Amino acid sequence: MRTLNHELTYATIHELSDRIRSREISPVEVAEQAILRIEEVNPALNAFVTVTAELAMKQARQAEEDIAQGRYKGALHGIPIVHKDLYYTKGIRTTASSKILKDFVPDYDSTAVAKLAEAGTVLLGKVQTHEFASGTTTNSPHFGACSNPWNLARVPGGSSGGTGAAVAAGIAYMGTGSDTGGSIRIPAACCGVVGMKPTYGRVSRYGIVPMGWTLDHAGPLTRSVMDAALSLDAMSGYDPKDESTVDLPPPGIKTEYSDSLKGVRIGLPTSYYFDNVEADVLAAVEAAIAKFKELGAEIVAVDLAKIGYARTAASAILLGELVAYHEPWLNSRPEDYGADVRMMLESGKQLTASSYLQAQRARHVLVQDFLDALSGVDVLLTPATPLTAPSADDFARTLRLAEYTMPTNVTGLPSLSMPCGFSPEGMPVNLQLIGRPFEEATVLGIGYAYEQNTDWHKRHPEL
Burial 329-348 (b: 16+ CB within 10 A, else e): bbeeeeeebbebbbebbeeb
pLDDT band at 422 (very low <50, low <70, confident <90, very high): very high
Per the annotation, the verdict on 159 as an active-site residue is: yes
Of the residues 26, 134, 160, 183, only one is catalytic, namely 183
Which pLDDT score is estimated for 268? Answer: 98
Question: Looking at 84, 115, 126, 197, which residue is catalytic?
Answer: 84
In this structure, are residues 121 and 172 in contact, taking their beta carbons and an 8 Å threshold? no
Residue 313 pLDDT: 97
Using CA atoms, how far apart are residues 460 and 448, in angstroms rounded to an integer? Answer: 19
Average pLDDT over residues 304-319: 96
* Bridge partner residues of 299 (DSSP): 266
Instruction: Give the Cα separation of 397 and 344 in Å (integer).
Output: 17
Query: Among 194, 419, 164, which Cα is nearest to 284's?
Result: 419
The C-alpha atoms of residue 102 and residue 432 are separated, in whole angstroms, by 34
In this model, does residue 1 exceed pLDDT 80?
no
- What distance lies between CA 233 and its chain's CA centroid? 15
pLDDT of residue 4: 75
Q: Which member of 98, 140, 147, 159 is catalytic?
A: 159
Q: What local confidence, expressed as pLDDT, does residue 259 receive? A: 84
| 84 flagged as catalytic | yes
Give the confidence band of 463 by pLDDT, cuts at 50, 70, 90: confident
E strand map for 290-394: 298-302, 379-383
The mean of the pLDDT values for the chain is 97
Nearest to 447 by CA among 186, 194, 225, 164: 225
Taking Cα atoms as reference points, which of 448, 398, 463, 457 lies closest to residue 428? 457
Give the alpha-carbon dihedral of 362, 366, 372, 375, to 10 degrees. Answer: -140
Q: What's the CA dihedral at 346, 348, 353, 357 to 10 degrees?
A: 180
CA distance 250 to 462: 35
Kindly state the greatest CA–CA separation across the chain.
Answer: 64
Integer Cα distance of 55 and 188 in angstroms: 27
Vertex 133 angle, CA 205 and 92, to 5°: 65
> In percent, how much of the chain has pLDDT > 70?
100
Question: Residue type at 279?
Answer: A
Residue 109: pLDDT over 80? yes
The yes-or-no answer on residue 183 being catalytic is: yes
Q: What's the fold here for domain 6-310+355-458?
A: Amidase signature (AS) enzymes (3.90.1300)
What lies within 8 Å, CB to CB, of 136 at 6+ separation is 130, 155, 157, 158, 159, 182, 183, 186, 398, 399, 401, 402
Residue pair 269/413 in contact (Cβ under 8 Å)? The answer is no
User: What is the rounded distance in angstroms from the CA atom of residue 283 to the CA atom of residue 384?
Assistant: 13
Which amino acid is it at 420? C
Mean pLDDT over 406-415 rounds to: 98
pLDDT digits 0-9 by tens, 140-178: 999 999 999 999 999 999 999 999 999 999 999 999 999
Helix, strand, coil in percent for the chain, rounding step 5: 40, 15, 40
- For the chain, which residues make up each domain, given as ranges? 6-310+355-458
Q: What is the pTM of this model?
A: 0.98
Say how many residues make up the chain.
463
Q: What is the pLDDT of residues 268-277, one digit of tens each?
A: 999 999 999 9
